[in-house]
């Protein structure tokens, strides 16, 4: 009996000691200050990188694809091809269908109809097709692709001029007078040209000589602000020639590279307006020595009506070149050929969209290639298919 009691007491003591040891391990007594410092010196140091507060922990890094991969700049030919979708699908598609079959009288009639519909003009079309037929006969051309290549060559010759560049002075301020009917994009084109000149490092002054149209000067002022060009203006209804005079005085005094003068563009059949335009030109010729360019802005979507406008303006001032706007929005690209053939005026600039950079120097080769790219491919595919069937 005493042995049992003794064994029980020993077991209780052992259990108490075991529990006490566990409590000490889980809750060790606090270290004295010296011991704590020694342990801290031995402990390894871990460097923890700082986190960006704007990016949560564990979030993947976001890479701006637009910033790292910039789209390559379009060449003039690529820009023409991209922007001339409507004209290409209309004229190019019609030509493709014409040359899919054999070469007979019906083909030539259909080609004439297509060119006339594209605003090349009746007289110009008849002469172009007659010349093309003669070359086909003399060179014994038989296939659609060959005829199409000859057509493109003929059109390139029609658009061939010695110089489509914009005249500039080697010394002093260059003067460009810009005219055209309201609604053609005249003031907008001036703003886009100003932006292009500023991007090239030239200083530009704009003269708001369209004092007849309400808010015309305000519109030009907005474009001047966008293009970082100075704008010279007077109150609405002021003498346009006086504004042109002030513009030249400001530009020449500042040593500006370029002065562009915006002019009134009410309907060209108003004689008083055309007389006023002639007066502006005379004042600039007198003060500046001469006007380097007289640019007529035409809307490509107006077709043959644009030629009537051009003739009226050419009578009032000596027009030196055409700015053809909205070329990307018309199915009648033949107006380019009609302007040069009937008026003897080269198209120098073309509007290809709404953006500020969508005003380009006119490139005849890129224009013709853009019009007929789809047509050439379609005709070649049709010819290849016909050959395989045979």
Whole-model pTM: value is 0.73
Q: Residue 207: phi, psi to the nearest 5? A: -110, 120
Which is more confidently placed, 330 or 43?
A: 330
Q: Can you give the pLDDT at residue 236?
A: 85
Most confident region among 35-44, 65-74, 149-158, 228-237 by mean pLDDT? 228-237
Q: Is 112 exposed, middle or buried (0-12, 13-18, 19+ CB in 10 A)?
A: middle
User: How much is the average pLDDT of 20-25?
Assistant: 53
Which is more confidently placed, 371 or 151?
A: 151
Write down the residue that tokens 């003498």 correspond to.
Answer: 239
Q: Give the chain's mean pLDDT.
A: 78
Q: Can you give the pLDDT at residue 162?
A: 63
Which residues make Cβ contacts (< 8 Å) with residue 98, sequence separation at least 6? 107, 110, 111, 114
Report whether pLDDT(336) > 80. yes
Which residues make Cβ contacts (< 8 Å) with residue 202, sequence separation at least 6? 257, 258
Write down the residue that tokens 């057509």 correspond to.
Answer: 151
Report whether pLDDT(95) > 80. no
**Of 329, 209, 313, 185, the residue nearest 259 (C-alpha):** 209
The pair of structure tokens assigned to 372 is: 């007929």
What is the rounded distance in angstroms from the CA atom of residue 195 to the CA atom of residue 189? Answer: 10
Most confident region among 82-86, 131-135, 202-206, 213-217 by mean pLDDT? 202-206
pLDDT-based confidence at residue 16 (cuts at 50, 70, 90): low
Report whether pLDDT(192) > 90. yes
Q: Can you give the pLDDT at residue 227?
A: 93
Q: Can you give the pLDDT at residue 376?
A: 43
Q: Mean pLDDT lowest for which of 87-101, 174-188, 210-224, 247-261? A: 87-101
Most confident region among 105-119, 128-142, 294-308, 342-356 by mean pLDDT? 128-142
pLDDT-based confidence at residue 85 (cuts at 50, 70, 90): low
Dump pLDDT digits (tens) for 259-277: 999 998 765 556 777 888 9
Q: Can you give the pLDDT at residue 167?
A: 95
Dump pLDDT digits (tens) for 138-163: 999 888 888 888 988 998 888 887 67
């Amino acid at each position: 009996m005493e042995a049992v009691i003794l064994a029980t007491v020993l077991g209780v003591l052992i259990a108490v000691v075991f529990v006490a040891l566990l409590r000490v391990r889980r809750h060790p007594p606090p270290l004295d200050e010296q011991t704590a410092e020694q342990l801290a010196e031995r402990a390894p140091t871990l460097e923890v990188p700082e986190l960006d507060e704007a990016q949560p922990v564990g979030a993947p890094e976001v890479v701006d694809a637009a910033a790292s991969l910039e789209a390559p700049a379009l060449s003039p030919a690529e820009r023409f091809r991209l922007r001339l979708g409507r004209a290409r699908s209309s004229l190019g598609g019609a030509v493709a269908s014409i040359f899919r079959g054999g070469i007979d009288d019906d083909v030539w009639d259909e080609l004439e109809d297509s060119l006339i519909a594209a605003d090349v003009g009746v007289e110009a079309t008849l002469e172009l097709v007659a010349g093309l037929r003669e070359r086909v006969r003399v060179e014994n051309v038989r296939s659609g692709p060959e005829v199409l290549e000859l057509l493109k060559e003929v059109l390139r010759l029609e658009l061939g001029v010695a110089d489509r560049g914009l005249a500039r002075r080697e010394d002093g301020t260059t003067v460009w007078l810009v005219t055209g009917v309201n609604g053609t994009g005249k003031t907008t084109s001036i703003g886009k040209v100003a932006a292009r000149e500023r991007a090239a490092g030239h200083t530009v002054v704009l003269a708001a000589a369209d004092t007849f149209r309400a808010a015309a000067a305000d519109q030009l002022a907005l474009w001047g602000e966008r293009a970082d060009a100075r704008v010279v203006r007077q109150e609405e209804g002021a003498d346009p020639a006086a504004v042109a005079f002030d513009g030249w005085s400001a530009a020449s005094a500042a040593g500006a590279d370029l002065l562009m003068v915006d002019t009134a563009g009410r309907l060209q059949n108003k004689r008083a307006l055309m007389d006023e335009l002639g007066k502006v030109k005379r004042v600039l010729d007198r003060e500046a020595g001469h006007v380097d360019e007289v640019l007529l802005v035409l809307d490509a979507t107006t077709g043959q009506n644009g030629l009537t406008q051009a003739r009226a303006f050419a009578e009032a001032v000596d027009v030196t070149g055409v700015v053809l706007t909205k070329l990307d929005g018309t199915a009648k690209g033949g107006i380019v050929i009609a302007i040069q053939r009937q008026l003897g005026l080269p198209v120098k600039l073309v509007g290809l969209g709404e953006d500020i950079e969508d005003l380009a120097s006119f490139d005849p080769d890129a224009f013709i290639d853009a019009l007929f790219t789809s047509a050439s491919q379609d005709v070649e595919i049709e010819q290849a298919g016909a050959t395989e069937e045979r």
